[in-house]
Structure 1
């Protein structure tokens, strides 16, 4: 006996007839956002810091200092020794030469002012201090290196030089309270000022 086939229509509430099973949503691919700085930036910063360090090292190595022997006074690129003992002009020059220096040659008002201050700053023994100026002939003043005295860098006391035969050497007279304190004197025993180049290290 043949069996009957029964058909039934099933309806679901709230489901559209065209409902189709949806596949799970695909994961979005990560978008390639542009970087806010180039990949080489850290390398460039490191290089810059390295170059700054090199520049600082070079600057430190190239920096130099000028210095003078103990007991000497420093001014600009020179060193000055103010003695406390007495010698003739010739002995004074020999003594300075023995220390690698010479009697001072004063080339500017700034240098004269410096020596004036130094001689008045300390309680030194001497009244007169030889400088490297003298006359072979009366009134013909020359420095040790042979250069004639420049009138623009001459600091004579009032009424000096005397320009007389017994007085052919020049001193700084410390009891003169003006920067114009040179005096021509006999070349007998006085203190001295030696001058040398400052050592650069």
Structure 2
């Protein structure tokens, strides 16, 4: 137990520890680019979700009816979704019918659903909370 308490202390105040990484959910809303800039200023980046465990953890950080930017975009090539570190998406959790590029939606968000967190594409200009990872 003391070991896990020690690991929690490796994360900055208001960040949460999970599987060797630290995560943060903002309390204010910004567009996707400004959200990413805010993460980078903390020595982090928008969250990259690598597996179901991480998806569940990140989803659990949000309250009911909250959406948040994640590190997902197809702004370089339409329809080719990439993480902020330029790696391709290998496992995805899109809402049914998403991504749909409605009116040029190029940025990914985590949305709350009755069945857990799912991804949606949204306009990068939308004001959302965001989730950082480092």
Is the shorter-chain TM-score for this pair beyond 0.5, marking a shared fold? Answer: yes
- State the alpha-carbon separation in 2 of the partners of residues 107 and 164 from structure 1: 26
Q: Tell me the number of residue pairs that the alignment of Structure 1 and Structure 2 aligns.
A: 127
Match of 1:142 in 2: 82
Match of 2:96 in 1: 158
- Are 1:178 and 2:115 an aligned pair? yes
Determine helix, strand or coil for the equivalent of 1:147: coil
**Correspondences of 1:12-161 after superposition (within 5 Å):** 65-66=6-7, 67-120=10-63, 127-135=66-74, 136-150=76-90, 153-161=91-99
Q: Which has the higher contact order (CA 8 A, sep 6+)?
A: 2
- Are 1:167 and 2:89 an aligned pair? no
Q: Give the unaligned 5+ runs of structure 2.
A: none
Say whether the 8 Å CA contact 2:111–2:117 is kept in structure 1: no
Say whether the 8 Å CA contact 1:156–1:180 is kept in structure 2: no
Runs of at least 4 residues of structure 1 off by over 4 A?
none
Determine helix, strand or coil for the equivalent of 1:119: coil
- Between structures 1 and 2, the one with greater strand share: 2
Say whether the 8 Å CA contact 1:138–1:165 is kept in structure 2: no
Structure whose alpha-carbon radius of gyration is higher: 1
CA RMSD of aligned residues (A): 1.9
Q: Give the unaligned 5+ runs of structure 1.
A: 1-62, 197-201
